[in-house]
Chain A
Amino acid sequence: MVQEYKLLFAGGMGVGKTTAISAVSEIPPVSTDVANSDREAFDKELTTVTLDYGRITLPSGDRLRLYGIPGQQRFSFMWAMLEHGAMGMVLLADASRPDPFVELDIFLKAFSKLLRTGRAVLGVGRLSKRRGALDKYVAKLARRKIKIPVFSVDVRKKKDVLLLLDALFTQIEVLEEAYRSGEPSGKAAQSTSPAGDLANNPASDHANDKEPAKDGEASEKVAASASLADDLASGKEPPKGGVFPGKTVQSTNETTV
């Protein structure tokens, strides 16, 4: 039976949610972009005021429905509506902002329930090449007791967005497997999820992406999820529901657990 999975793309204005969905969607995305009148706050011509919507059909026929939130806080009434029923979340941040952590914090609070299940990944754009630049983001998440993988990405690149989705599904499947088996995360690595389908999708650039990521691409990865599956296995915090189709994971991601 064909399954439908709802995924959320969240983050502040201009972090690239619309761009990310456009990069991977197989259909022309539904866009609700309008002229931005607040150019002082953010110098961007258009801004999303309701949602973005895109879709990916996996070889199995299963579908990923991609929903992007409007990033400005005055549209927060849409956030909870769009979060409802989401299996996981791609949270995006922009490191080039004057104070990226203040903005990130808004979304960490607003989506804390979903984030604390671990069914999420954080993609940081425009990150400096300095070693350890991602560590601050991992530390920020840790302070909020959120254990999710963090990646440096350029969401204009399809394979970077697919990397985030791969990581998200890998994260979800490890959590799910750990919850089912009650085993530590390391032993749950051979489980199943749409992640394999995503990597095997012939329409996906990522399917042939066997080379290690190059400089400037989604190369720097930190898995902050080290002990999450173990926490779940020990009964600390069971994940929310979700069913996963049977495909072997062939993600090209490095996994640090």
Chain B
Amino acid sequence: MKPLSKIQATALQLRLNHCCARVPEIRLILLATVDGFQQVVAGSQRADAELPEKFAAIASSMMALGEAAGKEVGSKKRLEAVVLDLTDLRVILRMVGGGKQQFVLATVADRKVSLGVLLKIVYENARLLEEALC
């Protein structure tokens, strides 16, 4: 597993900052390694000192659990995303990258943003991040 280089991290940080500025309902976007280390974080909740670190671990756990659940129910494909539909928030976890650079992109937003719109934002971010990783 290859962590992000400084250049990659800076480029991704700019993209995620831009996304958070464009959609104020997004509280947090976090990129973590698949084994739970925070890499890049953006959004209004990033200032909460411990949150990104803890959430990175939780996001990777949930992604792995989703993958295991998928296998158990017969899925032959890799897991793309996990959606948490809370009464006040939506959390979408999306696998990003591949090979030696695989990450979990976690996005937390108010429910004011519809699930469809949020999914579109997340998938667009994932595409941009994958381009930056190449």
Cα of A36 to Cα of B34 in the assembled complex, Å: 8
Q: Render A26-63 as a binary contact track against B, CB cut-off 8 A, 1 for contact.
A: 00001111111111000000010111000000000000
Chain B residues in 8 Å Cβ range of A78: 61
Chain A residues in 8 Å Cβ range of B36: 49, 72, 74-75
Identify which of B3, B62, B67, B72 contacts A37 (C-beta below 8 A). B3
Identify which of A35, A50, A77 contacts B65 (C-beta below 8 A). A50
Cα of A78 to Cα of B2 in the assembled complex, Å: 25
Asked if B61 and A70 sit within 8 Å, CB to CB, the answer is yes
* Best-buried of B35, B67, B100 by chain A (most CB within 10 Å): B35
B 28-59 contacts with A by CB, 8 A:
33-37, 53-54, 56-58
Determine whether B1 belongs to the interface, using a CB cutoff of 8 Å to chain A.
Answer: yes
Cα of A210 to Cα of B25 in the assembled complex, Å: 66
* Best-buried of A35, A39, A51, A75 by chain B (most CB within 10 Å): A35
Cα of A50 to Cα of B54 in the assembled complex, Å: 14
The bracket for how many chain B residues form the interface is: 20 to 34
Asked if A49 and B1 sit within 8 Å, CB to CB, the answer is no
The bracket for how many chain A residues form the interface is: 20 to 34
Asked if B68 and A49 sit within 8 Å, CB to CB, the answer is no
Q: Render B97-121 as a binary contact track against A, CB cut-off 8 A, 1 for contact.
A: 0001010000000000000000000
Asked if B68 and A32 sit within 8 Å, CB to CB, the answer is yes
Asked if A47 and B58 sit within 8 Å, CB to CB, the answer is no
Asked if A36 and B57 sit within 8 Å, CB to CB, the answer is no
Asked if A75 and B57 sit within 8 Å, CB to CB, the answer is yes
Determine whether B19 belongs to the interface, using a CB cutoff of 8 Å to chain A.
Answer: no
Asked if B68 and A35 sit within 8 Å, CB to CB, the answer is no
Q: Render A92-131 as a binary contact track against B, CB cut-off 8 A, 1 for contact.
A: 0000000000000000000000000000000000000000
Determine whether B13 belongs to the interface, using a CB cutoff of 8 Å to chain A.
Answer: no
Cα of A32 to Cα of B36 in the assembled complex, Å: 12
CB proximity of B5 to chain A, nearest CB, Å? 13
Seen from chain B, the residues whose Cβ lies within 8 Å of a Cβ on chain A are 1-3, 33-37, 53-54, 56-58, 60-62, 64-65, 67-68, 72, 100, 102
Seen from chain A, the residues whose Cβ lies within 8 Å of a Cβ on chain B are 30-39, 47, 49-51, 70, 72, 74-75, 77-78
Q: Which 3 A-B pairs have the closest CB atoms?
A: A32-B64, A37-B1, A35-B1
